[in-house]
Amino acid sequence: MAVTLDGKLVIAISSRALFDLDESNQIFEEKGEEEYTKFQIEHEDELLSCGVAFPLIKRLLALRDPKTKQNMVEIILISKNDPNTGLRVFNSIEQHCLTITRAAFTRGRSPYKYLKAFNADLFLSANPEDVKLALQNGYASATIFTGDYLKKSEKMDETMDEIRIAFDGDAVIFSDEAERINVEMGLEEFKKNEAEKSEIPLTPGPFKGFLTALNKLQDTYKHYDKRPIRTALVTARNAPAHKRAIKTLRAWGIGVDEAFFLGGLDKASILESFDPHIFFDDQHTYCLNASKVVPTGHVPSGVKNDE
């Protein structure tokens, strides 16, 4: 009988989201593929430092079904390296004791078309174009900010016993249908529209499926005292627009553990307190500020990202 990943949360991740590859990527950008290949081979036995998404991935890999003790998450390395230069990444995976055994190496080509083959619930990458292509083809995807937070991510509290994931609402969990009214007609029309349609669920956004998959994982632990996953909605909405967001999640039969309706306030302070392993937002400005205090993924979806 063929091996399948059915029933597991599947996350595809690029090597630059998992490890700090800024030095070698700079060589590729400035000197080309030949020098990059030479550098990676010469350093393939040197341990790569943790990237921004490393703490999240490490903790997800540790999740076990409380009854069967089987692992519940599959991480797939999706890399634009070729197998030759990708060996350094796999060597570091082994040295960091990560149970990642499956990979796709695509040598410079965008890997988005292989997400279907792995049935991926989420794609994390440091390459904005790859993320955009994946989103356009229906996959929850985010561009990892590899800047200010990188050093702090290596020092995340190893005693932390839960995984925390935070989401923006419009254009992330929900579609951008309401946000378009805000952009095109102004805040007051947005509030009026959301109050009038508070009983009408929003259409799903690109991360609705991923949040649903997380809810299924959480359900596995519902009869146990220890619940290792905690989610939060962190949105610029406030009253009265909060009602539609809450009732949409209720209509979908999914939920979040915490919700923050900030009415346009900067999200960084709340995020620093919630301290998620990752935060997803569609607006670049919010992402930029958030990335200084928590691991952050930009979701280039919706009206705020229209070119």
How does pLDDT run across 97-112, given as a tens digit for each residue?
A: 999 999 999 988 888 9
Q: How many residues does this entry show for the chain?
A: 307
- Please tell me the predicted confidence (pLDDT) of residue 73: 95
CB neighbour class for 192 (10 Å; exposed up to 12, middle 13-18, buried from 19): middle
Tokens found for residue 155: 């020092």
How does pLDDT run across 118-127, given as a tens digit for each residue?
A: 999 999 999 9
Q: What is the CATH number of domain 9-146?
A: 3.40.50.1000
Q: Looking at 60-69, 130-139, 253-262, 269-278, which range is the least confident one?
A: 60-69
- Assess whether pLDDT exceeds 60 at residue 152: no
CATH topology agreement for domains 9-146 and 163-305: yes
Q: How confident is the model at residue 307 (pLDDT cuts 50, 70, 90)?
A: low
Angle among Cα 15, 16, 19 to the nearest 5 degrees reads: 80
Is 306 marked active-site? no
CA distance 128 to 301: 12
Tokens found for residue 45: 């036995």
Indicate if the alpha-carbon torsion angle 100, 106, 108, 113 is positive or negative. negative
Out of 20, 121, 130, 168, pick the active-site residue: 168
* Per-domain residue ranges of the chain: 9-146, 163-305
Q: What is the CATH number of domain 163-305?
A: 3.40.50.1000
- Predicted TM-score of the model (pTM): 0.92
Q: How confident is the model at residue 216 (pLDDT cuts 50, 70, 90)?
A: very high
CA distance 275 to 164: 7
- Assess whether pLDDT exceeds 60 at residue 151: no
Query: In whole angstroms, what separates CA 238 from the centre of its chain?
Result: 24
- Assess whether pLDDT exceeds 90 at residue 53: yes
Higher pLDDT, 214 or 158: 214
